[in-house]
Amino acid sequence: MVDTKELEEVSRKIRRDIMVMLAEAGSGHSGGSLSATEIMVSLFWNVLRHDPENPDWEERDWFVLSKGHACPVLYAVLAARGFFPRKELWTLRKLDTILQGHPHRLKTPGVEFSAGSLGQGLSLASGVAMGLKRQGNPGNVYVLMGDGEQNEGAIWEAGMTAAQYDLDNLCGICDRNYLMIDGNTEEVMGLDPLADKWRAFGWQVFEIDGHDLRQMTYAYERFQLEKKRPTMIIANTIKGKGVSFMENQADWHGAPPKKGEQVQQALGDLGFTAPWEDFKKHDFDWVG
């Protein structure tokens, strides 16, 4: 188990790599990648059973990124965990890259499912969870969704299915930052009381601070103890977390920082002072 202080530093480096790769690409999604950082770091460092040397290990846990546009945070995490060299991050969205603008399972080591069409991830995860239970496989399935995609009917169909079949090996995480590409979720299509809705569908529900690594790890641990029903973690987050001019701004849903002064300001907010291009030249020690 990696301690919280170390994971806070990992999260800072993950945000750094997200900003640099997006600036280099000149396109991509900043806001929802930054908001999901602690969700991903606590999962991939302290919870998820995986083996970068053997990504298809039969008894691994599975991760599904339903909000596929937030793939920069997934790519940064996979590189840090050793699924592919960190230098690949600077090829994001370029011709023939292994890092497409949305996850592609045939191109990127560590990606279990291709994504892009919102609302599909929970159905995929439910199917895998059901299959693992039928096989007697001990693997758990984790699926990260955006709060905007809670508008999709398929999410709730999968929610009913998971509860009906007692998929206690399925953990959903909702990145609840209250912003989507069209604006505030409650103005586009009100979701609250979101936790009560998931409880009504038969799920165990935790509402937590999605930037608090202790709370995230605790919620994952409580999921692993549940033996009767699926779990939903509603992680309250800040869109664009860590970068002052991006925080709580819907305009940064699908926009990258510009090369030069803008990305340098973003890195400064995260506590990095070296020229942004320098971070493409070096590898860094990662925890665990």
DSSP 117-137: STT-HHHHHHHHHHHHHHHT-
In order of their start, the domains of the chain are 4-280 (3.40.50.970)
Best CA proximity match to 28, nearest among 68, 78, 66, 65:
68
Task: For CA atoms 285, 53, 67, 107, give the dihedral sign.
Answer: positive
Task: For CA atoms 44, 247, 21, 148, give the dihedral sign.
Answer: positive
Asked whether the beta carbons of 276 and 20 are under 8 A apart, the reply is yes
Query: How buried is 96 (Cβ within 10 angstroms: 0-12 exposed, 13-18 middle, 19+ buried)?
Result: exposed
Mean pLDDT of 241-268: 97
pTM for the model stands at 0.96
Q: Please give the single-letter amino acid code of residue 282.
A: H
| CA 13 vs CA 86, 95, 110: distances in Å | 12, 26, 20
pLDDT score for 283 = 62
Grade residue 286 by pLDDT with cuts at 50, 70 and 90: very low
32-60 CB burial, b ≥16 within 10 A, e <16: bbbbbbbbbbbbbbbbbebeeeeeeeeeb
Phi, psi of 9 (to 5 degrees): -70, -40
pLDDT digits (tens, 9 = 90+) for 58-95: 999 999 999 999 999 999 999 999 999 999 999 999 99
Longest dimension (CA), the chain: 54
pLDDT score for 281 = 80
pLDDT score for 284 = 54
pLDDT digits (tens, 9 = 90+) for 263-280: 999 999 999 999 999 998
